[in-house]
């Protein structure tokens, strides 16, 4: 019944996004209303309050809903709005991770990883029970939704989920110490700014000290960089399609930064 009600939005003049099937939107003159669905949770946004009230009344008639009013919390994401813009962060989620790991009182560090440490599967003793490590890395992975400063460290830790060692756990604990130093870091979106899509692409080749293998299967550093560029380009194209659905003008090309001349 819930799914049927959502798809009946099409008869209300809504369009389902081809880029994200959980997103519905409606344009009328200068107004826009967007509805994002995740299982039984819904976010409504737009500049037409009458249309938003109309949709809420329809959904409430189809299946009883609980109106939580202004968005504050959604799937572990915290939202703070002001006249200057919107901030997304995961402070409570980060503190929950620290609490469950027993690291609320740990000494903070200024970086998530030691730049001189290269993780591998030949250093340290294998963990007798890798479940804790896997669960911790999984929770840190979701934290990167708003903490891009953790992305590289968590990506490195994710490569050793099959047979983690004490060295990997030590590196993961360092990430926790870094999170302790800044649990409320997040993303800030200005209310008024010139929209420019930018992306940064990089990859490695044969860096594993044990096997000399790459994360991406390739025969040269140029090829692995080129594949990384292609993957990043697909992400940029998806964002461009999403902006088109929302009628957000982005007339100039997206910028893609990388550091490999041979890939060019």
pLDDT digits (tens, 9 = 90+) for 81-128: 998 999 999 999 999 999 999 999 999 999 999 888 888 888 889 999
pLDDT given for residue 237 in this prediction:
92
Instruction: Work out the pLDDT band at 200, boundaries 50, 70, 90.
Output: confident
Stated pTM of the model: 0.83
Q: Are 125 and 108 in contact (CB under 8 A)?
A: no
Q: What is the pLDDT of residue 215?
A: 61
pLDDT in the model for residue 24: 92
Res. 149: pLDDT tops 80: yes
Distance CA 33, CA 39 (A): 19
Tokens linked to 9: 């939005």
Higher pLDDT, 48 or 211: 48
Under a CB-based contact definition with an 8 Å cutoff, are residues 218 and 260 in contact?
Answer: no
1 with 65: CB under 8 angstroms? no
CB-based burial label for 219 (10 Å; 0-12, 13-18, 19+):
exposed
* The pLDDT of residue 264 is above 80: no
Q: Residue 171 has what pLDDT?
A: 95
**Lowest model confidence (mean pLDDT) among 8-12, 91-95, 121-125, 131-135:** 8-12
Q: Is the dihedral of CA 129, 94, 167, 149 positive or negative?
A: positive
* Averaged pLDDT, 133-139: 97
Nearest CA to 160 out of 133, 139, 141 is that of 133
Cβ contact 197:256 at 8 Å: no
Return the DSSP state at 162.
S
CA distances from 227 to 203, 221, 230, 255 (A): 9, 10, 5, 17
Nearest alpha carbon to residue 175 among 145, 126, 141, 129: 141
Whether residue 173 is predicted with pLDDT greater than 90 in this model: the reply is: yes
- Tokens found for residue 63: 């299946």
Residue 218 scores a pLDDT above 70? no
Cα atoms found within 13 Å of the Cα of residue 205, Cβ hemisphere only: 13
- 67-81: average pLDDT: 90
Domains of the chain and CATH, by start: 2-69 (3.30.310), 89-186 (no CATH), 195-257 (no CATH)
Q: Check pLDDT > 80 for residue 212.
A: no
Highest-confidence segment of 31-40, 125-134, 201-210: 125-134
pLDDT of 5 above 80: no
Residue 170 has pLDDT above 80, yes or no: yes
Q: Mean pLDDT, the chain, as a whole number? A: 87
Provide the pLDDT for residue 12: 81
pLDDT value, residue 7: 61
- Tell me, what's the pLDDT at 158? 94
> Can you give the pLDDT at residue 211?
55
pLDDT value of residue 3: 56
| Percent of the chain predicted with pLDDT > 70 | 91
Burial 14-53 (b: 16+ CB within 10 A, else e): bebbebeeebbbbbeeeebbbbbbeeeebebebebeebbe
């Amino acid at each position: 019944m819930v799914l049927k009600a959502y798809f009946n939005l099409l008869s209300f003049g809504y369009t389902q996004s081809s880029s994200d099937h959980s997103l519905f939107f409606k344009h009328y003159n200068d107004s826009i209303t967007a509805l994002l669905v995740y299982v039984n949770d819904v976010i409504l946004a737009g500049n037409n309050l009458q249309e938003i009230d109309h949709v809420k009344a329809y959904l409430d008639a189809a299946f009883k809903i609980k109106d939580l009013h202004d968005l504050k919390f959604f799937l572990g994401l915290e939202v703070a709005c002001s006249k200057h813009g919107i901030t997304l962060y995961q402070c409570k989620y980060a503190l929950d991770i620290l609490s469950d790991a027993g690291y609320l009182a740990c000494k903070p560090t200024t970086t998530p990883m030691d730049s001189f440490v290269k993780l591998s599967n030949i250093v340290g003793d294998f963990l007798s029970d890798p479940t804790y490590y896997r669960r911790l890395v999984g929770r840190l992975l979701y934290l990167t939704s708003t903490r891009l400063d953790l992305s590289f460290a968590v990506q490195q830790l994710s490569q050793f989920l099959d047979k983690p060692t004490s060295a990997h756990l030590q590196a993961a604990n360092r990430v926790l110490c870094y999170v302790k130093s800044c649990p409320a870091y997040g993303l800030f979106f200005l209310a008024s700014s010139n929209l420019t899509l930018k992306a940064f692409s990089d990859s490695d080749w044969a860096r594993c000290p044990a096997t000399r293998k790459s994360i991406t299967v390739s025969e040269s550093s140029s090829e692995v960089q080129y594949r990384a560029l292609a993957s990043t380009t697909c992400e940029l194209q998806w964002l461009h399609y999403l902006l088109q659905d929302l009628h957000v003008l982005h007339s100039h090309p997206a910028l893609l930064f990388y550091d490999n001349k041979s890939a060019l």
